[in-house]
Amino acid sequence: MKAELNEQALLKGLANNDSKAIEALYKDNFNMVQSFILNNNGSYDDARDIFQEAMIALYEKAKSDSFVLTSKINTYVYSICRRLWLKRLQQIGRYSNQIDSLEETVSVEEDLEIHEKRNAEFAIMDRALNSLGEPCKSLLEGYYVKKMDMQHLAKEFGYTNADNAKNQKYKCLIRLKKLFFAQYNIGD
Amino acid sequence: MEDNLLLQAIERYLDGTMLSAEKAYFEELRKNTPEIDQMVVEHSMFLHQMDLYSAQRNMKHTLHEVHTKLLERGDINEGGELNTRGRVIQLYNKYKRVTAIAASVGGIIALVISGLTVYFTPANNNQLQELKREVEVVKRNQQYQGAKLNEVDSKLPKDAVLTGGGSGFLIDAKGYIITNAHVLKGSSFANVINNNHDEFSAKIIYRDEARDLAILKIEDEDYKPLKTLPYGFRKTDIDLGEEVFTLGYPRNDITYNKGDLSAKTGYNGDSTRWQLEMNANPGNSGGPVLDKNGEVIGVLSTREKHAEGVAFAIKSKNIFKMINEVKDTDTSLEKIKMTSHSSIKGMERAIQIKEMENCVFLVQAFNKK
């Protein structure tokens, strides 16, 4: 019961970007995933990529309103990593059915579907932002990603006042929205 | 500019920083202007996407930081600094499949090469069969012979174990017998029995495994040496199609076989042998091959397994060569004199055989228990 409560707390911490919780989760689960990847034709870099992607998937799930985790965290993380790695191996044509499956796994297909959709959206936004050019890109990133306030941003970018910076930000935003929706609608 | 202001208003409306009077006015505007309503919905959607995007980006950043931190602290390990074996294992894991494939390919090539080598090596045991008598057969025959032997007691020591058998023939009347080395394989002494069932003890005085020849010397007081051998050793070249014959002991009684010389080389071009068109059987090994004049042209040794009636004989000049090679170092061979004169030349075959049959022996090879 205590362990379960602890896991719930960790997931809550993850959803709230609490670095202590993230560290604990990372520490508890990474080695298992790493040895799995290494034992199945992967490298240290592969292990890191796959594990971090699984953590993102877990984070998205923890943040969603309908969140329920029906298994232990390590089982869930392992299952996600296993699916992701199998997929990666298939993509590079090295599919092996000898994948080590001694660990217990749970079905994660639905979650992965949601995660993939999310990834696609992320990529669209990323592309849109990157094709904006400077200073638009950094300005918008500063405001939306780093959550800096306008005064601060104006100072950093050298605008004479916050209003000018704000004006510029909206101009950039209009361009970004255009770029984003051009891709996003096609994607739909 | 108008767009700009509108967007600003929408954003303020969405993040709830609008004052209530302004908000009421804006809501009224939204209700009456579908375009603005649409823009609000669209922007709300966009902001949601932006939220998710930034959350994911921030999480990625955090994870990256955590990873580096844990790595520094040693809570997780990516090989490298902590133990160098990690990298080796990583490399091993990365390339083990390639290594395995390379190793298999190497193995297969090695097998193919060794297979080819074996296939093309002359006197291939798979293709050729040595014509010595198998132990079981010899044993059975020994019992039969026991009754017929002229000796009262066998001259064998009590603890002798039979290892094989074949044929042999005199090359010098003083009691020197040539046979195949494979007949004597694994044995330390031998006895020889002639067609009159006289048994003599013989000493193995020389073996040449490469040529597959061996020389025995009868060392038995009962042996009465002939003055001269009825046959000689042919030194001139022999032609294809010449008629040849052999005497040997595939059974307990001396057996005659005839055939023709079919090639001047042996199996796979082995130039030390003749190929004969002749039926030879296990036990014929070590027997003489003679031409129609009663001159020895070779020592029968092997037959081809997968071809009927093809046998091979070691050319008699190999006997000369062998003896000449070791004469200086091995004094036991220096007394051997081989003549080329055949006294049975021009005789009928049956007479020739009668003249020489006591010079051809059944060779039994033994080892001590």
A2-30 confidence digits (pLDDT tens): 566 688 888 888 888 888 888 888 888 88
Single residue among A50, A74, A108 that ends a domain in this structure: A108
**Do A100 and A143 fall into the same domain?**
no
**Do A64 and A143 fall into the same domain?**
no
Let me know if residue A119 belongs to a domain. no
Let me know if residue A126 belongs to a domain. no
More confident residue, B25 or B243: B243
Tell me: cis bond preceding A135? Omega within 30 of 0 counts.
yes
Rounded to a whole number of angstroms, the distance from the CA of B140 to the nearest CA of chain A is: 59
Structure tokens, B188: 């330390």
Mean pLDDT of A160-183: 83
**Do A163 and A101 fall into the same domain?**
no
More confident residue, B255 or B331: B255
**Do A13 and A56 fall into the same domain?**
yes
Reported as a single tens digit per residue, the pLDDT across B277-295 is: 988 888 888 999 999 988 9
- How many CB atoms are located within 10 Å of the residue B53 CB? 22
Supply the mean pLDDT for chain B. 82
Supply the mean pLDDT for chain A. 82
The whole-number pLDDT of residue B152 equals: 45
Nearest to A59 among B54, B59, B78 (CB): B59
More confident residue, B134 or A73: A73
Q: How confident is the model at residue B151 (pLDDT cuts 50, 70, 90)?
A: very low
Mean pLDDT of A131-156: 84
Reported as a single tens digit per residue, the pLDDT across B237-259 is: 888 899 999 999 988 888 899 99
**Do A96 and A25 fall into the same domain?**
yes
**Domain locations in chain B as residue ranges:** 2-68, 128-369
Q: Tell which residue, B70, B46, B1, has the closest CA to residue A182.
A: B46
Single residue among A52, A74, A108 that ends a domain in this structure: A108
Let me know if residue A122 belongs to a domain. no
Residue B143 pLDDT > 90, yes or no? no
Domain count, chain A: 2
Pick the CATH number of B128-369 from 2.40.50.100, 3.40.50.10300, 3.40.50.970, 2.40.10.120: 2.40.10.120
Taking a C-beta distance cutoff of 8 angstroms, is the pair B318, B209 a contact?
no
Domain range for A32: 2-108
As a residue count, chain B comes to 369
**Do A157 and A97 fall into the same domain?**
no
Per the CB < 8 Å rule, is B59 touching A145?
A: no
Residue B189 pLDDT > 70, yes or no? yes
Residue B122 contacts A where some CB pair is shorter than 8 Å? no
Q: Tell which residue, B255, B257, B341, B243, has the closest CA to residue B291.
A: B243
User: What CATH number is attached to the domain comprising A23?
Assistant: 1.10.1740
**Do A102 and A16 fall into the same domain?**
yes
Question: Half-sphere exposure of residue B207, counting CA atoms within 13 Å on the CB side?
Answer: 13
Let me know if residue A113 belongs to a domain. no
Nearest to A56 among B3, B8, B59 (CB): B59
The whole-number pLDDT of residue B138 equals: 67
Q: How confident is the model at residue B260 (pLDDT cuts 50, 70, 90)?
A: very high
Q: Looking at this predicted complex, what is its ipTM? A: 0.83
Percentage of chain A lying above the pLDDT 90 cut: 4
Residue B52 contacts A where some CB pair is shorter than 8 Å? yes
Let me know if residue A45 belongs to a domain. yes
Judging contacts by C-beta atoms under 8 Å, the chain A residues touching residue B48 are none
Q: Tell which residue, B332, B262, B327, has the closest CA to residue B298.
A: B262
Let me know if residue A116 belongs to a domain. no
pTM for the model stands at 0.45
The whole-number pLDDT of residue B299 equals: 93
Residue A23 contacts B where some CB pair is shorter than 8 Å? yes
Residue A17 contacts B where some CB pair is shorter than 8 Å? yes
**Do A102 and A139 fall into the same domain?**
no
Per the CB < 8 Å rule, is B70 touching A39?
A: no
